[in-house]
Amino acid sequence: MKKYISLIAILLLSTAGLFAQSIYDIRNAIDFFESNKMQRGEYRNTLTEDDIDGSPFLDDEFINGTVYTYQKIQFNDIPLRYNIFNDEMEFQTPDNKILAIAAPEIVEKAVVGENIISNIPYKIGNKIKRGYFILLTEGNVNLYARPEVRYQKPKEAAPYKDPEPAKFVERPHSYYLRLNEEAAVKVESKKDLRNFFSDHQNQVEDFIKENKVKPGKEDKLIELVKYYNSL
């Protein structure tokens, strides 16, 4: 009986520890504005949007969202929008100034509308960088979408062709997989998928064949990652 009581006590303490780890210090928008005001320095804006067709944003409008930091601070009711081209999370101050979050490396995630936008490390060749990604599904392996926007320079008039203004051109999302806390890796081929899920390679290969999973098909990738996380 004593053994059972001890086991229950350990389980309760473990559960309490998990809840404690997930607790955030909740703060309001004013605290967020003040902290960024002190840290921001010069706002870096690669291109102005004047006279450029298209949009560099995931959503043109600011949406009240929530910012979570790795220091377990939660800021509520922040007007946010994600600038895909600059890879910056922008916010609007009470006096309508548009700024970028001063220290993006401390941001764990931002919840903007229906999107959870995480700031995570990812691999480019042999280098590790950080950036914002849209979380699609999570578990031992997380799946992310990386939105892409390309800037196209203006084109001068040519024989039989009118001039074209500069514009932002939306590109297809790229997709990344992340195992636990490791850097996310880009998925570009079925071979990438097989190599990533090497511990259950046969099962994953069967699932890919049966469900016609392709690296560029978001819904199929979500199904695959959910299946893998269930194994």
- Ranges of H-type helices in 162-217: 190-196, 201-211
- The 10s digit of each residue's pLDDT in 174-220 is 999 999 999 999 999 999 998 999 888 899 999 999 999 999 999 99
Measure the CA–CA gap between 180 and 70, rounded to whole angstroms. 15
Counting other chains too, the contacts that 59-63 makes at CB distance below 8 Å and 24 or more residues apart are 59/112, 59/113, 62/90, 62/91, 62/92, 63/112, 63/113
- The 10s digit of each residue's pLDDT in 83-134 is 999 999 999 988 888 888 988 889 999 999 999 999 999 999 899 999 999 9
